[in-house]
Chain A
Amino acid sequence: MTDLTDLGVAAIRDGFRAGDFSAVEVADAFSARVAAAGALNAFLIETPDHARAAAERADAARAAGEAPLPLAGVPIGMKDLFCTNGVPATAASRILEGFVPPYESRVSQNLWDAGAGMLGKLNMDQFAMGSSNETSAFGNVLSPWRRSDGGNAALAPGGSSGGSSAAVAARLCPGATGTDTGGSIRQPAAFTGISGIKPTYGRCSRWGTIAFASSLDQAGPMARDVRDCAILLQAMAGFDPRDATSLDLPVPDWEAGLSGDLRGKRVGIPAEYRVDDMPAEIDALWRRGIDWLRDAGAEIVEVSLPHTRYALPAYYIIAPAEASSNLARYDGVRYGLRDRPDGGGLQDMYAATRADGFGPEVKRRIMIGTYVLSAGFYDAYYTQAQKVRALIARDFERAWERCDLLLTPTAPSAAFALGEKSADPIAMYLNDVFTVPSSLAGLPAMNVPGGLDEQGLPLGLQIIGRALDEQGVLNACLAIEERAGFTARAEQWW
């Protein structure tokens, strides 16, 4: 019998329906693998009972001859940014110490309603602020990948969804939720050789997802391949009246629409993404991606997105500004940590609680946000950034007159070693250079693995689509997946 933890979402779903194995067998196999992978530090909380309870319901429903739910028998990992009823939610921050949500986020509820169970809550960058998972208050996540040079340098799994990427790549779960504000699904997926899609802003409800930057935050799935992502996204997405920016649209059957035939599609190659000092291997992968898409029938066209270089600085005004407002709620009154100096009053309690509870990167961003929103600076920073954001969105609109999709690298490098960039905030921010523009414009975008670099580390390609064209994005990624033949996986050392 095959090792059940080698199976992806579709294979588990189909095998369970065919009666090849029980849902409980699957849940227990993954829970055992999670329990044995403590060295990766991918999970903050393990919830084998949650996974098993969902599996028992699936098995009972199958025995009773009921029609199976879409994700019956499939256990998943949940990024610890989602509120889960009765299970702690930390956002990887000490400030939420002791917080147990009395309610369920819409995205996680949708997954449970579809029959999935939860293996545990996944580590991440604190409040999703980071690109390497090094800002977690609960320790770094280690990528399951290592360089082939024989060294044992611990590598970053990417961030902020670094627990999700490491867990999927290490086969601790067949799929996981992620959230993406400026690349937090796509960059970690690229670093670990898995797939991950950020849907159009508004597809997945933000209700019950701990907020970072509300105009950018979107949930999405991370899994081993394109089909698995389509299946999970279908379950996660959907209109929610409790989120004012939720899109009141039906959820398409993306899995049924999957096709790697790109005849009639035009794919744009944005000139501005050819950044200085891009590693030759990433440039070479980009060219191979062009060949693969052409082979799938697509026409390749050169396009220009002239404001690309201003996307990162605009993002680092808008996201911290929204974060400084969103994170004002952590005041030691209603939930989480409270710290009060001896004899201190209410204001002292606020300041001490926030000083102790937030990590350095979170404080840095709150302070930048507070600064750019402060009296006298608002127009020069925030209003100007929102105008530049409008120009970035206009760049994409103009590109769509010439093409249907865009192909770019996902990240400017393969996974770096832990500690390599953490001393220089701006060097870390530059990691999101290819993912931030589509976030600012709210567009669907996906990472698909393309190959390995000379050191044996995964490299990814990104497809960006028009608003609401997740199908086009998934299909182009499928065409790449079918041609890239990416089967490499991290050798188990943990």
Chain B
Amino acid sequence: MAVDQATVARIAKLARIAITPDEAARLAPELDNILHWIEQLGEVDTSGVEPMTAVIPNHLRLRDDVVTDGGIRDAVLANAPLAEHGFFAVPKVIE
């Protein structure tokens, strides 16, 4: 299927990346080309094949359900573009 400008705009919205109509027009053939190239995977007979979930056999470890970290609020907030009253601050979302 062809990727058109509307599709690019929809993907960009899902990915939370602002794009202009010009950029969408430029990206559409580019993404279409890449997606066509990866569609050759459809040729491979994968019936009866389980999708890979771990490259190296490894067991998933459990640890004790205890707090191992914390009490470092200032360090957590130190890199925030905007922090107020000990919280991350964002534009108002509820009117």
Residues of A within 8 A of B (CB): 98-100, 102, 200-202, 215, 241, 244-245, 247-248, 307, 310, 313-314, 316-317, 324, 328, 331-338, 340, 344-352, 354-355, 358, 363-364, 366-368, 370-372, 374, 380-381, 383-391, 393, 425-426, 440-442, 467
Which B residues are in CB contact (< 8 Å) with A370?
A: 11, 14-15
Let me know if A425 and B46 touch, CB within 8 A.
no
Which A residues are in CB contact (< 8 Å) with B3?
A: 371
Let me know if A333 and B50 touch, CB within 8 A.
no
Which A residues are in CB contact (< 8 Å) with B39?
A: 313
A99, A241, A387: the one within 8 Å of B52 (CB): A387
Bound Cα distance from A96 to B86, whole angstroms: 22
Let me know if A387 and B50 touch, CB within 8 A.
yes
A-contacting residues, B1-54, CB 8 Å: 3, 7-8, 11-19, 27, 30-31, 33-35, 37-44, 46, 49-54
Which A residues are in CB contact (< 8 Å) with B88?
A: 333-334
Let me know if B41 and A346 touch, CB within 8 A.
no
Known interface pairs A99-B79, A313-B39, A314-B41; 15 further A-B residue pairs with C-beta atoms within 8 A, sorted by A's residue number: A102-B79, A247-B58, A310-B40, A310-B41, A334-B79, A338-B82, A348-B18, A351-B16, A367-B27, A371-B35, A381-B38, A384-B46, A390-B50, A393-B52, A440-B55
Of A247, A328, A388, most buried by chain B (CB within 10 Å of CB) is A388
Give B19's nearest chain A residue, CB to CB. Answer: A355
Which B residues are in CB contact (< 8 Å) with A340?
A: 91
Give A98's nearest chain B residue, CB to CB. Answer: B79
**Shortest distance in angstroms between B71's beta carbon and chain A's nearest beta carbon?**
13
Which A residues are in CB contact (< 8 Å) with B54?
A: 245
Bound Cα distance from A441 to B54, whole angstroms: 9
Bound Cα distance from A336 to B88, whole angstroms: 13
B11, B55, B90: the one within 8 Å of A215 (CB): B55
Let me know if A338 and B58 touch, CB within 8 A.
no
Asked, given contacts A367-B17, A371-B35, A426-B33, whether A387 binds B46 with beta carbons under 8 Å apart, the answer is yes
**Shortest distance in angstroms between A443's beta carbon and chain B's nearest beta carbon?**
8
Let me know if A200 and B91 touch, CB within 8 A.
no
Bound Cα distance from A350 to B27, whole angstroms: 20
Which A residues are in CB contact (< 8 Å) with B35?
A: 368, 371
B75 in the interface (beta carbon within 8 A): yes
Bound Cα distance from A440 to B55, whole angstroms: 7
Which A residues are in CB contact (< 8 Å) with B8?
A: 367
Which A residues are in CB contact (< 8 Å) with B27?
A: 364, 367
Which A residues are in CB contact (< 8 Å) with B85?
A: none
Let me know if A351 and B17 touch, CB within 8 A.
yes
Asked, given contacts A332-B81, A387-B50, whether A371 binds B31 with beta carbons under 8 Å apart, the answer is yes
Bound Cα distance from A380 to B37, whole angstroms: 14
Asked, given contacts A337-B81, A347-B16, A367-B17, whether A386 binds B53 with beta carbons under 8 Å apart, the answer is yes
Let me know if A336 and B15 touch, CB within 8 A.
no
Bound Cα distance from A368 to B28, whole angstroms: 11
Of B14, B15, B43, B78, most buried by chain A (CB within 10 Å of CB) is B15
Let me know if B61 and A241 touch, CB within 8 A.
yes
25 contacts between A and B (CB under 8 A): A100-B79, A102-B75, A102-B78, A202-B58, A241-B63, A317-B38, A324-B15, A328-B16, A337-B81, A340-B91, A345-B92, A345-B93, A346-B93, A351-B13, A354-B16, A364-B31, A367-B27, A367-B31, A368-B31, A371-B7, A384-B42, A386-B52, A388-B44, A391-B49, A393-B55
Listed from nearest, the 9 A-B pairs whose CB atoms lie closest are A442-B55, A386-B51, A338-B81, A335-B79, A387-B46, A351-B18, A355-B18, A390-B52, A313-B38
Which B residues are in CB contact (< 8 Å) with A344?
A: 91
**Shortest distance in angstroms between B39's beta carbon and chain A's nearest beta carbon?**
8
Give B1's nearest chain A residue, CB to CB. Answer: A377
Let me know if B15 and A426 touch, CB within 8 A.
no
Let me know if B80 and A335 touch, CB within 8 A.
yes
Bound Cα distance from A333 to B80, whole angstroms: 6
**Shortest distance in angstroms between B46's beta carbon and chain A's nearest beta carbon?**
4
Bound Cα distance from A58 to B72, whole angstroms: 32
Give B10's nearest chain A residue, CB to CB. Answer: A374
Bound Cα distance from A332 to B40, whole angstroms: 37
Which B residues are in CB contact (< 8 Å) with A201?
A: 55-56
Which A residues are in CB contact (< 8 Å) with B55?
A: 201, 215, 393, 440-442
Give A370's nearest chain B residue, CB to CB. Answer: B15
B60 in the interface (beta carbon within 8 A): yes
Bound Cα distance from A160 to B17, whole angstroms: 23
Which A residues are in CB contact (< 8 Å) with B11?
A: 367, 370-371, 374
Asked, given contacts A244-B60, A338-B81, A371-B31, whether A331 binds B75 with beta carbons under 8 Å apart, the answer is no
Which B residues are in CB contact (< 8 Å) with A352?
A: 18
Which A residues are in CB contact (< 8 Å) with B49?
A: 387, 390-391
Let me know if A355 and B46 touch, CB within 8 A.
no
Which A residues are in CB contact (< 8 Å) with B53?
A: 386
Which A residues are in CB contact (< 8 Å) with B43?
A: 310
Which B residues are in CB contact (< 8 Å) with A346?
A: 90-91, 93
A367, A383, A387, A389: the one within 8 Å of B15 (CB): A367
Let me know if A388 and B16 touch, CB within 8 A.
no
Give A366's nearest chain B residue, CB to CB. Answer: B15
